[in-house]
Amino acid sequence: MTQLRPVNYALKPAAIDKAKPHATDYSLTDGGGLYVEVLPSGSKVWRYKYHRQGKREKVTIGPYPSIGVKAARDRHEALRGQLHSGESPAQAKRRDQVERRAAEARAVDFRTVARRWMEETLFYRSAGYRAQIAR
């Protein structure tokens, strides 16, 4: 298996902090497809853009400054390794989200929903009435 090419990262935290919002999105590139997208709202988001099978794809890493420069670069390296092994990081992220939502949906049962409904709608009723509805 071939080794990944090293990436010369160029972005400094001070440059990201100084970036001001414009009327449209713009990017501050770091290297190797990693960049910070500055949105018109002033939010700054780490993203990784790459080509796979002749198509351009991108995956969102997370918001800056919640995810710092070092953490974003570490995540970028992991995503590059995933891409190098033949798996699309964007498709893997979507698949993980679908699996997580399905697991959350399976975790909710009727008893949980009924208890929550009782707490939210019957809080002003007497204890006897609540017990009767629970039965």
Q: CA 58 → CA 22, 67, 132, distances in Å?
A: 22, 17, 54
Are 8 and 64 in the same domain? Answer: yes
Q: What is the pLDDT of residues 47-60, one digit of tens each?
A: 999 988 888 989 99
Q: What mean pLDDT is predicted for residues 86-112? A: 86
Are 21 and 64 in the same domain? Answer: yes
Query: SS3 for 13?
Result: helix
Decide if 40 contacts 21 (C-beta within 8 A).
Answer: yes
With CA atoms as reference, report the closest residue to 65 among 26, 31, 15, 27: 15
**Predicted confidence (pLDDT) at residue 111 exceeds the cutoff of 90:** no
Q: What is the pLDDT of residues 9-36, one digit of tens each?
A: 888 999 999 999 999 999 999 888 899 9
CATH number at residue 11: 3.30.160.390
Are 40 and 82 in the same domain? Answer: yes
Q: What is the pLDDT of residues 32-85, one digit of tens each?
A: 889 999 999 999 999 999 988 888 989 999 999 899 999 999 999 999 988 888
pLDDT at 103: 87
- Residue with the larger pLDDT of the pair 4 and 102: 102
Are 41 and 99 in the same domain? Answer: no
**Predicted confidence (pLDDT) at residue 1 exceeds the cutoff of 70:** no
Q: What mean pLDDT is predicted for residues 91-101? A: 89
Are 83 and 106 in the same domain? Answer: no
C-alpha–C-alpha distance, residues 110 and 107, integer Å = 10
Are 4 and 64 in the same domain? Answer: yes
C-alpha–C-alpha distance, residues 16 and 12, integer Å = 7
pTM exceeds cut of 0.75: no
Are 7 and 44 in the same domain? Answer: yes
- Residue with the larger pLDDT of the pair 112 and 4: 112
Are 68 and 120 in the same domain? Answer: no
The count of domains in the chain is 2
Are 32 and 16 in the same domain? Answer: yes
Are 109 and 63 in the same domain? Answer: no
CA angle 35, 7, 12 (to 5 degrees): 50
Decide if 7 contacts 50 (C-beta within 8 A).
Answer: no
C-alpha–C-alpha distance, residues 65 and 32, integer Å = 20
Give the range of the structural domain holding residue 102, as residue numbers without chain letter.
Answer: 89-135
Residue position matching structure tokens 């006897």 = 128
Are 98 and 82 in the same domain? Answer: no
pLDDT at 2: 60
**Predicted confidence (pLDDT) at residue 119 exceeds the cutoff of 90:** no
Pair of tokens at residue 65: 């400054």
